[in-house]
Amino acid sequence: MQHTFLMVKPDGVRRQLIGNIVRRFENRGFVLVGAKMMTISREQAERHYGQHKEKPFFGELVDFITSGPVFAMIWRGDNLIEVSRIMMGKTNPLEAAPGTIRGDFATYVGENVIHGSDSPESAERELENFFSTDELLAAGVLSSATDRIVINHV
Ligand code: GTP
Ligand code: MG
């Protein structure tokens, strides 16, 4: 069992794709354990995409992700990080297979509808960046005993 962070990006919210995207993960058997609509600050966006700081598209990336509300979610399920990345499809929607979220809903790499953590380490970092301690506790992601975010469960 795993927890992960998924987020409908501003283009997906604007296009009213939240329900469709949530339904795909629920249909697959995953469980939504926390969610909120929020507009992220530039500081939060720069932290989220810190690994891309040197890339030529970094400014555009931060402009886009802060351009309107996102729908931030915490999900739980078996092999969730790997399976959610498959369900999202390739980063460039033009290379994403039909049937995947990006393959069905997007055409431009800069606006590709959904974000999902790519590893347990990313999931921990990203959940901490988007959710408060109280929200992580309520979602069952933060262990009150150890004060640590739990990504991988037995
Ligand atoms: P995220 O879930 O958003 O992290 O996507 P990813 O893990 O599939 O891709 P990656 O982390 O490598 O890149 C982060 C984001 O940068 C992508 O989702 C794209 O929206 C954006 N991106 C990547 N390459 C380009 C590019 O060439 N131009 C622009 N404008 N954006 C890009
Ligand atoms: Mg990424």
Decide if 149 contacts 127 (C-beta within 8 A): yes
For 80-152, list the strands marked E by DSSP: 114-116, 142-143, 148-149
What are the tens digits of pLDDT across the range 97-120?
Answer: 999 999 999 999 999 999 999 999
What are the tens digits of pLDDT across the range 30-43?
Answer: 999 999 999 999 99
Q: Is the CB of 58 under 6 A from ligand 1?
A: no
3 state SS for 60-90: HHHHHHCCCCEEEEEEEECCHHHHHHHHHCC
Q: Is the CB of 24 under 6 A from ligand 1?
A: no
Cα 49 from Cα 59, distance rounded (Å): 10
Distances in Å between the Cα of 129 and the Cα atoms of 5, 49, 63, 72, 126 are 10, 11, 18, 11, 5
Complex prediction ipTM: 0.95
- The response to whether 42 counts as a known ligand-binding position is no
* 153 catalytically annotated: no
Average pLDDT over residues 53-71: 97
Decide if 116 contacts 95 (C-beta within 8 A): no
Considering only CA atoms, which of 1, 23, 30 is closest in space to residue 104?
23
Atom 2 of ligand 1, nearest CA residue: 115
Cα 127 from Cα 152, distance rounded (Å): 14
What are the tens digits of pLDDT across the range 81-97?
Answer: 999 999 999 999 999 99
